[in-house]
Amino acid sequence: MTEIPVEHGLLFAAALFCIGLVGVLVRRNLVFMLMSLELMLNATAFVFVLGGALHGNADGQVMFVMILTLAAAEVAVGLALVVHLYHRHRSLDADRLDVMKG
Amino acid sequence: MDAAGLKALTPLLLLALCAVGTMLLAGFRRNGRLAFYSYQGGLLLALLSLTWALPERSLEVTPLLRMDAFFGYFAVLFILSAMAIGLMAAGHFRRGGGRARVEESYVLLAICLLGALVLAGAQHFAALFIGLELMSVASFVLVAYPCGGRPVEDGVQGNSLEAGLKYLLLSSAASAFLLFGIGCIYLDTGSLAFAPLPPATTLSLPGLALLLIGVAFKLALVPFHFWSPDIYEGAPTPVAALVATLSKTALFAAVLRYVWYGALLELPGLATAVAVLAALSMLIGNLLALRQRHIKRLLAYSSIAHLGYLLVVLLAVGHAGLAIDAAAVYVLAYSVTTLGAFALVGCVCEAGAEADYRLEVFGGLLWRAPCLGASLILVLLSLAGIPLTLGFIGKFYIFAAGVEAGLWWLLGVLVVGSAIGLYYYLRIVLIMLGPAPEAGGIGGRRWLVYGLALLLVLLGVYPLPVLSWLPVL
């Protein structure tokens, strides 16, 4: 099997990260914003897997597992808050969150 | 890990036990007072165990953590801050009447503190990540804590929900930036330890830039500051104090250690970027605070400016022997002063049925409650860095480190920023001397305010006990 160059993997991760970032910035639906965040975190996790494969040590894979845990914890908290917001406003629109200004 | 390592980890283990124990206690018996005592008791035990557990010489406990004088100093500071925040929280959540469920807030506070201690000892990116996220995820929940009960149509709950969601989204995006940066550095060097970068690197510089963006977001440095006033406004006051002190100072301690171990400021581009962030934070933070009429937002902008001052110290690391000491003193001054300010906000602004955070609420405070008024003056003078307060000692150290490192133009910006700061701090004093508002009460934990104000003056007049105990590095 031919080796895949590291640059390709990094470009893939960067593209995934950018898609996630654009999603967080332009989406107005909170559930989609959380999904875009997941995408960003998964892109970073991929970089660690890539590093672990390149250097042949386990650090990258350990970091991958921890990033997965973080993503789960964040989404758990995030979805709880989104459910609360839905109960209150009957909408998932992030533009509802604009009471505070200044 | 051997017995010595396990002994050095005792404070962290005790804090983890405190979090779990408090949660179990709340599961069996829902009693706010019980949870409060369990939390404070656990923290006190951890604090006492530090005197016994801290190794004589710097000790590496697993590749992740290093227990040394630096860790000891910041650990004591963080535990004491968390105890003060716990006291504020007990007063604040009791205001909501008997219905409010307060037990879990102590569990979350303990988890936050645990994350802060991990950050203080971190010498590896994995530890940095774990500590940071322990702190962040627990503080998302704490920011949105008031909307935990039955939904009630009132302003406090709505604002805290909005603040919590904003904090979660922005902070997680910042975490992703930080992690991508760490990933790039790892891809380049093959190691996650805090160490100098190898000379020929291609990916490490972009990695460091991403890391810097993530850190700047979390520390709320200009131009990544826009989230912080909203969070401070929406969060309950003790949680705002937590976000302002513990979250920022703990991350700063970890970054300080990375900059110091990694000799990062040898890289010219990075030093310039940090200097620009520092200058922008000092100037724009203070300028934006000028037009604030809301005390919590004003404190948010003032905290942005203070983090800018702290960055000056970061730039002096490696050039001035004083730099680490200066950072330690300034972090102490900033924590005590900010906690005092938020405790005062809790006493004065939240006394009535409806919390009112306009600056006018402080009108006539010096006549209505002379001791509280005097404390507020002391806190404001310390924020401004006037002699005989702890804030002055901190700023003096920053100046000394900056002069030693030859950061002249940044010190010029620091002076200009402090001058602007003086204007809006003294404006609050003027409001305080003016007429009282119609409906103004005083409530909450006054003695916490008195204690913090007294500490400010005592250490400002006679700082030797702290100075003699600074981390010798």
B342 closest CA partner among B106, B89, B139, B136: B89
Q: How far apart are CA B406 and CA B322, in angstroms?
A: 13
pLDDT for A85 equals 86
Given a cut of 70, the residues of chain B with pLDDT beneath it are 95-100, 149-158, 438-440, 471-473
3-state secondary structure of B193: strand
pLDDT for B435 equals 84
Written as six digits, the tokens of B10 are 């005792």
Helix axes B323-349, B446-461, angle to 10 degrees: 150
pLDDT for B361 equals 87
Q: Which residues pair with B38 in a beta bridge?
A: none
Q: How far apart are CA B116 and CA B248, in angstroms?
A: 9
pLDDT for B155 equals 56
Cross-chain Cβ contact B130/A66 below 8 Å:
yes
Q: How far apart are CA B146 and CA B105, in angstroms?
A: 10
Looking at per-residue confidence, does A37 or B321 come out higher? A37
pLDDT for B320 equals 74
pLDDT for B153 equals 55
For residue B43, count other CB atoms closer than 10 A to its CB.
24
**pLDDT greater than 70 at residue A1:** no
Q: Which of B133, B161, B173 sits opposite A84 (nearest CB)?
A: B161
A23 has a chain B CB within 8 A of its CB: no
Over residues B262-304, the pLDDT tens digits come to 888 878 788 999 999 999 999 999 999 998 999 999 999 999 9
Q: Which of residues 73-102 of A touch B (CB under 8 A)?
A: 73-74, 77-78, 81-82, 84-85, 87-88, 94, 97-100, 102
Q: A70 Cβ partners below 8 Å, 6+ apart?
A: A41, B129, B133, B137, B175
Residues in chain B with CB shorter than 8 Å from the CB of A20 are 176
Domain definitions of chain A by residue range: 7-90
Over residues B111-156, the pLDDT tens digits come to 999 999 999 999 999 999 999 999 999 999 999 988 776 656 555 6
Q: How far apart are CA A30 and CA A49, in angstroms?
A: 29
Q: B129: distance to nearest CA of chain A, Å?
A: 9
> Do residues B255 and B132 touch, judged by C-beta distance below 8 A?
no
- Dihedrals φ, ψ of B153, to 5°? -85, 85
pLDDT for A99 equals 67
> Do residues A60 and A50 touch, judged by C-beta distance below 8 A?
yes
Q: How far apart are CA B306 and CA B210, in angstroms?
A: 23
- The H or E element that residue B276 is part of is helix B268-290
Q: How far apart are CA A43 and CA A10, in angstroms?
A: 9
> Do residues B189 and B197 touch, judged by C-beta distance below 8 A?
yes
Q: How far apart are CA B34 and CA B45, in angstroms?
A: 16
pLDDT for B319 equals 81
Q: B176: distance to nearest CA of chain A, Å?
A: 5
**DSSP assignment letter at B145:** G
Cross-chain Cβ contact A84/B184 below 8 Å:
no
For residue B458, count other CB atoms closer than 10 A to its CB.
12
Which of B145, B186, B288 to substitute to test the interface with A, most A CBs within 10 Å?
A: B186
Q: Which of A24, A84, A98 sits opposite B173 (nearest CB)?
A: A24
**pLDDT greater than 90 at residue A101:** no
ipTM exceeding cut-off 0.90 for this assembly: yes
pLDDT for B96 equals 58
The reply to whether CATH 1.10.287.3510 applies to domain A7-90 is yes
Cross-chain Cβ contact A63/B230 below 8 Å:
no
A43 closest CA partner among A18, A25, A66, A77: A18
Over residues A49-75, the pLDDT tens digits come to 999 999 988 999 999 999 999 999 999
Residue of A nearest to B193 (CA): A59
Residues in chain B with CB shorter than 8 Å from the CB of A41 are 172, 175-176, 179
pLDDT for B355 equals 80
Cross-chain Cβ contact A24/B169 below 8 Å:
yes
Q: B23: distance to nearest CA of chain A, Å?
A: 17
pLDDT for B193 equals 93
pLDDT for B302 equals 95
Q: A65 Cβ partners below 8 Å, 6+ apart?
A: none
Question: CA separation (Å) from B233 to B35, B238, B292, B413?
Answer: 27, 11, 12, 28
Cross-chain Cβ contact B176/A13 below 8 Å:
no
Written as six digits, the tokens of B470 are 């600074």
Cross-chain Cβ contact A44/B141 below 8 Å:
no
